[in-house]
Structure 1
Amino acid sequence: MTHGKAPSPTAVRRLLAPAWVVDLWTLAVPLAAVYLFTSAGSALSGSARVDLGYALVNLIIVVALWVFVGNSGVLSFGHIGFVAIGAWTMSLLTIEPLVKSNLLPTLFPFVQDASASPVVALIMGAIMGGIVAFLSALVLMKLNGLEAGIATFALLQVIVQVLTYWDKIGPKSGQSMVGIPASFDLPVVMSIAMLVIVVAWLYQQSTSARLLRASRDDIAAAPASGINVFKHRVIAFAVSGALAGIGGALWAQTNRVVQASQFNLDFTFLTIAMLVIGGMLSLWGAVVGTIVISTLNHFLGLLEGGLEIGSVTVSIPSGSRLIVLGLSLILILILRPGGITNGREAVWPFEKKLDFLTQAQRTFD
C-alpha cells in the first residue's frame, strides 16, 4: 500500500485554525494578561494601586525596548534617554505657564509659554522621542555587538547631561520640575499600555521587522542576501524611541516630580532585567517579565517596610529589592538564558494537539 507524504506541521495547523487566528493569538494573550493584571492590582490596597501605575508605565518602556532589542539582537542601554525626553516634554507642556515662570525662570520664552492638554503632550512626547531616536540611529546603527551597546550607553549619558545642565529647556542642575498634573487614571494608563502592545505587535508583523530579525539571526549572511541592515535598524530604533517617549510621558504623570538624575543606571538596569527575565526575543516575554518583576518588586517593598503576617512582622533590609532582582537575573541567565518564555510568543493552545496529529500521521505512513 502506498502512503502519501506526512503533512507538515504548518499544514496540520491550518486544519485546526487559519494562520491569522494563530497570529492574533500572540497579540490577544499579552493584552488579556495586562487586563487581568490591572484588574487584580486595582482590587488591592492603595499602595498596590500606586505600584500598579508604575508597573504599567514600566510595561510600556520594556515593550518599547523590545521593539528594538528583540528584533535587532542589539542590546540598548540608551532607551531610558528617550523616556527622559518624553517625561521632559510632558512636564514642560502640562505645567501651568505661571508656575513655570516662577520655578523655571531661565526657560526659552517659547518653552515658557508653551501649554497643551495631556493627550497632546503625550503625543508630542512620542514625537520627540522618535525624532531623537531617529537622528541618533543615523550615527549609531552602523555599529554592531559590544560597540553598539557602549554607544547607546554614551547616548544616555549625553541626553541626561543636556537635561541636567541646559536650563533653557528645564530646571537648573539639582532642581526638579513639579506641579505636573495627574490627568490619566489607571484604566486610561492600561488602555495606553495595551495600545502600545498593539503597535509593537503590528511592527513585529511588518516586512521591515522580519528582515531585521533575519539579520539578528545571521548578521554576516543578511547583507549578502540583499537586506539593508542599517535601514531596518534605524526604523526599529525610531519606533522604539517613540514608544519609549510615551512611557516617559506617562512616567511624569505618575511620578509628578521630574529630575534628570532619575533617569539613571538603576532605571536602565530595571527595564533590561524585566526584558531579559521575561524573554528578550518575544513580545510575550516583555509582558511576562514586567508583570513578574513588578509583582516581586511590590512584595519585596512590603517586606522592606515590615509585613504583618498574623502576630508576626516579617521584614528584610532596605535595598534588598535590587539584590533580589540582580540574583534573579543571574539565575535566569544561567538556568534559562531564553528567559521565562524562552523567547517564544504565546503558544497557540492547540499546539499539543497539532504535535499529536502530526506524529499520528507519520506513524500511519
Structure 2
Amino acid sequence: MARSVARRTILTPILLSSLLVAFALAAWLAGSRPFNQTVIDIFLQVIFVVGLFTFIGNSGVISFGHIAFACLGGYVAAWTTIKPMMKGISMPGLPNWLMQLELPFWVAALAGGAFAAFWALVFGAVLMRLSGIAASIATFAMLAMVNSIYSNWDSVTAATSSVVGIPIVRTVWPYLIAAILSVFVAWAFSISRHGLALRAARDEPTAASASGVDITRVRLVAFVISGAIMGAGGALYAHSIGLVTPDTFYLGLTFTTLSMLVVGGMGSLSGAVIGVLILSSLIQVLRWLEAGVTIGEGSFALPGGVQEIALGVVMILILMFRPAGIMGNSELTGRIFRSEKPGTPGSNDASQTTGDQR
C-alpha cells in the first residue's frame, strides 16, 4: 500500500520540478542578466517556502522563526567560502581552522544545512513540546534571539556590518537543482511514516496520542528536516548576492515567505511552489513599476513600499475568500484520482490517509 501511494504521489514533485525546469530554460534562453537573477530569486524562495511547508504544512504549527535557520546557513557560507585574508579583516574572531578553510559553494550549502539542522534539533527539543500560539510565539523568540546574537557578535559575524567577499554564483542551474531537491525531500517526508503520523497528530491530536504517536518526536523530525532545507537555502542565498547581514534574514524575508505559503496553501506542497510563483511575479511587476516606466514622453512610478502593501492586501483577500489558500490541501495531481472508485488501490480514500498528498 505504501509503495502504491508513493508511486502515485510522486507525480506531484515531478510536475513541480518540470515547472521549475521550464523557468530555468526560459532564463537560459532569454540571456538577460536581470531576468536570470529574477529566476534565481524564485528558486531560492521555493527552497524557503518548501522548507516552511515541511514543518508548518505537516504539523499545523505556524512558525515565525524558520528564517533564523536560513541566517545560520548564510553565515556558514561566509565562514567557509570567503578568502582567508578577507575573513581576517571582517571576522578576526574565527578559529584558525575556520579562518583558513575555503570550500566550494555546494559544499558550503551542505554544511549550512547540517549546521542549521543541528540547531533545529537543539531548539526543537524544547520548542516542540509546545503547541498552538505558544509554539508560534516561541519560534519568533528563537528568530529574535539568533538575530540579536548575530547582530552583536562583532568578531565572528561582523555584527550589523555587511560581510562581503562571498563568491557569487550567477548561473541558475545550482539553484534549480537545490529547489528540485527540496521539493523531493518535502514530498518524501510527507509520505513517510513520520509525515503520516505528524499529519494525524495535526488533525486529531488526542486520537493520535492514544494510538501511540509520539507527537513531540515527529514534530522534532519535521523541524530538523525543515531547518536543514532552510539552512542550505540560506547558504545559496548568500552566494546569490555575495554578502550577508543579520537583517537580510529577519522580518522582511519572514513575512514574504509566510505570505507565499499562505497564498498557495499551507497544507499542500503544490501550493507552496505555486504561491512562490504567483507572489514572486507580483513582486517583480511592482519592483518594475516602482523603478519607473516610460509612457510616451512621460514616466510613471509607484511610491516605495507598495510591494509590502500589495502582499498584505493579497493575504487578506486570500484569507477572506480562500482561507485554505489557492490549492487548499490538494495537490496538482489530485483530480487525476478523483475519478477512481472509492476503496480501490490508489483511490481518493487512500489519498486522504496521506493528508491529501495526491
TM-score, normalisation: structure 1: 0.88
1:345 maps to amino acid: E
Contact 1:127–1:245 (8 Å) recurs in 2: yes
Match of 2:292 in 1: 306
Match of 1:84 in 2: 71
Instruction: Give the deviation of 1:220 after TM superposition.
Output: 2.4
Q: Secondary structure at the match of 1:308?
A: strand
Q: Deviations over 1:144-198 (max 9, x none)?
A: 0000000000000111111111234221x33111011024620121111111111
Q: Deviations over 1:17-38 (max 9, x none)?
A: x655431212212111211233
1:256 maps to amino acid: G
Match of 2:279 in 1: 293
Moved more, 63-72 or 38-47: 38-47
1:244 maps to amino acid: M
Contact 2:61–2:132 (8 Å) recurs in 1: yes
Check if 1:122 corresponds to 2:109. Answer: yes
Check if 1:257 corresponds to 2:243. Answer: yes
Once the two structures are superposed, the pairs formed by residues 19-30 of structure 1 within 5 Å of their partners are 19-30=5-16
2:117 maps to amino acid: G
Instruction: Give the deviation of 1:221 after TM superposition.
Output: 2.2
Which of 35, 39, 52 pairs up with 2:21? 35
Check if 1:243 corresponds to 2:221. Answer: no
Instruction: Give the deviation of 1:349 after TM superposition.
Output: 5.4
Q: Distance in 2 between matches of 1:235 and 1:57?
A: 23
Which of 93, 101, 104 pairs up with 1:106? 93
Match of 1:169 in 2: 156
Q: Distance in 2 between matches of 1:111 and 1:164?
A: 20
Q: Distance in 1 between matches of 2:27 and 2:194?
A: 36
Instruction: Give the deviation of 1:311 after TM superposition.
Output: 5.9
Moved more, 97-106 or 324-333: 97-106
1:274 maps to amino acid: M
Match of 1:282 in 2: 268
Which of 221, 233, 252 pairs up with 2:207? 221
Match of 2:332 in 1: 346
Change (3 A) 1:48 1:227: same
Q: Distance in 2 between matches of 1:329 and 1:43?
A: 33
Q: Secondary structure at the match of 2:163?
A: coil
Q: How many residues align?
A: 340
Match of 1:144 in 2: 131
Match of 1:50 in 2: 37
Change (3 A) 1:280 1:311: farther
Match of 1:330 in 2: 316
Q: Distance in 2 between matches of 1:192 and 1:333?
A: 30
Q: Distance in 2 between matches of 1:142 and 1:71?
A: 16
Aligned-pair identity in percent equals 35
Structure 1 alignment gaps of length 5 or more: 1-9, 11-17, 359-365
Change (3 A) 1:204 1:156: same
Please report the RMSD computed on the Cα atoms of aligned residues, expressed in angstroms. 2.1
Change (3 A) 1:238 1:288: same
Q: Deviations over 1:305-362 (max 9, x none)?
A: 112356664421111011001100010011001111112111245346547xx9xxxx
Structure 2 alignment gaps of length 5 or more: 345-358
Match of 1:14 in 2: none
Q: Distance in 1 between matches of 2:90 and 2:6?
A: 53
Contact 2:37–2:170 (8 Å) recurs in 1: no
Question: Which protein is bigger by CA-based radius of gyration?
Answer: 1
Q: Distance in 1 between matches of 2:187 and 2:9?
A: 10
Q: Distance in 1 between matches of 2:296 and 2:274?
A: 31
Match of 2:83 in 1: 96
Q: Distance in 2 between matches of 1:42 and 1:340?
A: 29
Moved more, 301-310 or 150-159: 301-310
Match of 1:363 in 2: none
TM-score, normalisation: structure 2: 0.90
Q: Deviations over 1:236-287 (max 9, x none)?
A: 0000000000110010001111111222211100000000100000111110
Q: Deviations over 1:123-154 (max 9, x none)?
A: 11010010000111000000000000000000
Instruction: Give the deviation of 1:41 after TM superposition.
Output: 4.2
Q: Distance in 1 between matches of 2:7 and 2:220?
A: 30
